[in-house]
Amino acid sequence: MNMMAEKIRDRVTIPMVLSQYGYQTSSRKRVPCPIHQGKDPNFCYTDQVYHCWSCGAKGDVIGLVMELFGIGFKPALMKLNHDFCLGLSSERPSYRERQLMAENKRVLKAYGQWKKKKKCAYDGLCAFHRELFRRMAVGEASEEIVAVQGDLEAWLEDNIQEVVQPWI
């Protein structure tokens, strides 16, 4: 249920819930409270949470549906899933699906680490490229430095698809 609740919170916003169930919304995000049928705009909301300054009601989209319809947590999840055509399953994932989710999490973590290392290496090569270019600009570069700088620039262009701007 917690995974389903998180998916609902990610996909459904407070303004969507208010509009779906016939309550007004406002660009200022303050309206009369739909929970206690207030007349003044004491109910304020963001995409994720709401708060009524008059009756004290506050919560997220699931809590709002629970309050509006006087239902519990699980029925609110089912109502949101059905009313917003989310197609979420309330069943626990199978062993195979849990293994696949764990493997996907490991792959994404490894990919993130790889990207971080790639950025670190790229930043180091850029700093090296700038230093070589600076030496060339002030006349401190030998033929070997000029050759290395040219090779480095060609490699950056071929492999990173960017040439470091030497004046940065």
Return the domain boundaries, the chain.
Answer: 2-83, 95-159
Give pLDDT, residue 163: 44
CATH 3.10.20.600 fits 2-83, yes or no: no
The residue type at 39: K
The model scores a pTM over 0.75: no
CA atoms within 13 A on the CB side of 128: 16
Give pLDDT, residue 164: 46
Q: Phi and psi at residue 29, in whole multiples of 5°? A: 60, 40
Question: Kind of pairing, strands 30-31 and 58-59?
Answer: unpaired
Residue-wise DSSP of 11-28 = H--HHHHHHHTT----TT
- Report pLDDT digits (tens) over 82-133: 899 888 876 667 788 889 888 988 998 998 898 888 888 888 888 888 888 8
Predicted confidence band at 3 (pLDDT cuts at 50, 70, 90)?
Answer: confident
Distance from C-alpha of 52 to C-alpha of 6, rounded to nearest angstrom:
23
